[in-house]
Chains A and B, each alone.
Chain A
Amino acid sequence: EIVLTQSPGTLSLSPGERATLSCRASQSVGNNYLAWYQQKPAQAPRLLIYGASSRATGIPDRFSGSGSGTDFTLTISRLEPEDSAVYSCQQYGSSPVLTFGGGTKVEIK
């Protein structure tokens, strides 16, 4: 099973700043099959990124994904107040066994 470790646990930044979230895999994620989700309190997760770097429909271009192998990054280029949420990564490179990371909480000051 591929274990995904996300860091930092919490990120506290001001509006307009850049957020960089890390997702590290215990072994290489095949074909860079990695997705990112945003989850606001009391809401279901929302897909942001799939295939490590492809934005889902309707996702603003301030969200971008990058990385390969075992190291992946979600970048929010200019934080807005509504970006306050927990962000989780998920790998599907070892399909049919899927795993999620533990999440990074982004707080907007």
Chain B
Amino acid sequence: QLQLQESGPGLEKPSETLSLTCIVSGGSISSNSYYWGWIRQPPGKGLEWIGSIYYSGSIYYNPSLKSRVTISVDTSKNQFSLNLNSVTAADTAVYYCARETKYCSGGNCYLSWFDPWGQGTLVTVSS
């Protein structure tokens, strides 16, 4: 059974870089059937997609965060990571990692739905 676990600091200072890692167990991150995504949820608010990565390195970012986000993958450790720089209080959120089905139709492949998700980790940005 595939499991994902986020890890990283729970507190960041404004203007610094938020760094999280998602460790994947019970399955290979190098599967050609899945992307791997990051999603966040500010307290009391809705979900926001941050970005997704394929094991070979193809990466897609939310345009609204693209200038500050870097997602990378380490297939040797079966994990992928998120860096978000120049953080502010608005970046305070629960950060989730999730597996994302690579949905192919008519010769094209797409990002799609997220399943399963990690338990999430709260990152607070405060001085």
Contacts and interface: CB of A to CB of B under 8 A. Distances in A.
Contacts of B62: 97-98
Main secondary structure of the interface of B (DSSP, over half): strand
Interface in A50-96: 50, 56, 88, 90, 92, 95-96
Interface residues of A, number: 24
B51 to A, nearest CB: 9
Main secondary structure of the interface of A (DSSP, over half): loop
Among B48, B113, B114, the one with the most A-chain Cβ atoms within 10 Å of its Cβ is: B113
B105 A45 contact: no
Contacts of A1: 63
A92 B110 contact: yes
Interface of B: 39, 45-49, 52, 60, 62-63, 96, 98, 101, 103, 105, 110-120
Interface of A: 1, 31, 33, 35, 37, 43-47, 50, 56, 88, 90, 92, 95-103
